[in-house]
Amino acid sequence: NAGVMQNPRHLVRRRGQEARLRCSPMKGHSHVYWYRQLPEEGLKFMVYLQKENIIDESGMPKERFSAEFPKEGPSILRIQQVVRGDSAAYFCASSPSGTVSTGELFFGEGSRLTVL
């Protein structure tokens, strides 16, 4: 039973390029969360999605960032015109339902973005 799969694991981009990060949730999970972790900092919530719907994007910057979770295929976090400050680890997590009362989000291994 595969866990949450993220790719690429490492991505290097130059300023101004686009970064596209993919996340396949665990089998049977229809809720996906994206978090960003800057060096030496905690995880910051970015966006919560269900299939074809953005439920909460309150943590996502208004410009350059977008996320989707299509009916078929992985969830994608897209960062346009990257800047050095976007360098971080981006973690995807999934859960089988929208309630987090059990606290268990299953995290992928993360995608580490480096912007040169």
Partner 1 sequence: RKEVEQDPGPFNVPEGATVAFNCTYSNSASQSFFWYRQDCRKEPKLLMSVYSSGNEDGRFTAQLNRASQYISLLIRDSKLSDSATYLCVVNTPQGAQKLVFGQGTRLTINP
Q: Quick one: 40 exposed, middle or buried, by C-beta within 10 A (0-12, 13-18, 19+)?
A: exposed
Nearest to 111 by CA among 27, 6, 30, 38: 6
Q: Is 73 in the site for partner 1 (CB under 8 A)?
A: no
Residues 6 and 23: their CA atoms lie apart, in Å, by 5
Q: Is 68 in the site for partner 1 (CB under 8 A)?
A: no
Q: Between residues 52 and 56, which has the closer beta carbon with respect to partner 1?
A: 56
Nearest to 32 by CA among 80, 87, 91, 89: 91
Q: Which stretch binds partner 1 (CB under 8 A): 16-24, 42-50, 60-68, 76-84?
A: 42-50
- Using CB under 8 A, which of 25, 48, 60, 75 touches partner 1? 48
Binders of partner 1 in range 5-24 (CB under 8 A): none
Task: Give the pair of three-digit tokens for residue 29.
Answer: 């999970």
- Using CB under 8 A, which of 56, 61, 73, 83 touches partner 1? 56
Residues 38 and 110: their CA atoms lie apart, in Å, by 12
Q: Is 103 in the site for partner 1 (CB under 8 A)?
A: yes
Residue ranges that bind partner 1, judged by CB under 8 A: 33, 35, 41-45, 48, 55-56, 91, 98-105, 107-110
